[in-house]
Structure 1
Amino acid sequence: MKEIIAILRMNMMNKTKRALADAGIPSMSAREALGRGKGLVDFKVLDGAEKGYEEAIAQLGQSHRLIPKRMLLTVVPDKLVEKVVKTIIKTNQTGKAGDGKIFVMPTLDAIRIRTGESGDEVLDEG
């Protein structure tokens, strides 16, 4: 089983939830997140700040704010990872900077508290 974490534009969250539910993946968690990608970083200014130049440090403080995002989390059996990833990409891909990121990580186990069941049985089967 794998945990899939997607960082998405805030205005794409409802569309993504619907697309995943239509794909048979209704179970997920979401939370607010703040972040930015490398596309918004001026590496010359960053390099100057790392070297201790006060002008560069001041410029970093004035720009490149963190952007409000949504973090979507779901855990699925290995056989559904590709389906989930493709659904998220299809729903969120605009071709512009800021479309988001997807992270796929191994998960050792999942346990349903109500029944004590564990493993893939407690996950969506899509």
Structure 2
Amino acid sequence: MKEIIAIIRPNKMTDTKEVLNALGFPAMTANRVMGRGKQKAIIGEVSFEIQKKELLNEEGTMRYIPKRLLSLIVDDEDASLVVEAIMRVNQTGNRGDGKIFVLPVEEAVRVRTKENGIEAIS
């Protein structure tokens, strides 16, 4: 099993969920996160008024920008399909498109039924 962690733009969340659902991967965890890459967070990337001074630096750019963090567990053979789907939806060619990480998962256990392994995520 693999855990796929994707950090994406908030405005791509709905499209990403729809594509993953259509491919048969509806189960995921999603969180609102703040972060930045090397680009030092450009204010024009957000669509809300910035009121917290701790988010801004002296150059008028944001220290951190809102992103979405998705995490889903898939069978090893499905990992490349899921990564490719996330990339196709989120790739604009501009800075800030996000990152995808693929990690090994040693075990999964469904609490309700005590199923483990691939049965726990199916």
TM-score, normalised via structure 1 length: 0.79
Whose Rg is larger?
1
Unaligned runs of 5+ in 2: 42-55
Aligned ranges 1:62-101 → 2 under 5 Å: 62=58, 63-101=61-99
| In 2, Cα distance between equivalents of 1:10 and 1:69 | 5
Q: 2 CA distance for matches of 1:95 and 1:61?
A: 26
Q: CA deviation at 1:40?
A: 2.5
Paired amino acid for 1:4: I
- What number of residue pairs does the alignment pair up? 106
Misfit runs of 4+, over 4 Å: none
Amino acid at match of 1:105: L
The 3-state SS of whatever aligns with 1:40 is: coil
The one of 106, 112, 115 aligned to 1:114: 112
Contact 2:4/2:100, CA 8 A, preserved across alignment: yes
Superposition map of 1:35-54 within 5 A = 35-40=35-40
Paired residue type of 1:15: D
Deviation for aligned residue 1:64: 4.2
Q: CA RMSD in A?
A: 1.5
More helix by share: 1
- Counterpart position of 2:49: none
CA distance in 1, matches of 2:95, 2:32: 19
Once residues 61 and 94 of structure 1 are traced to their aligned partners in structure 2, the CA distance between those partners, rounded to angstroms, is 26
Q: Deviations over 1:71-95 (max 9, x none)?
A: 0000111011001000000010110
Conserved? CA contact 2:31–2:70, under 8 Å = yes
Q: CA deviation at 1:65?
A: 1.7
Q: 1 CA distance for matches of 2:16 and 2:3?
A: 17
Contact 2:110 2:121 in 1 (8 A): no
Give TM-score scaled by structure 2 length. 0.82
**Structure 1 unmatched runs, 5+:** 42-59
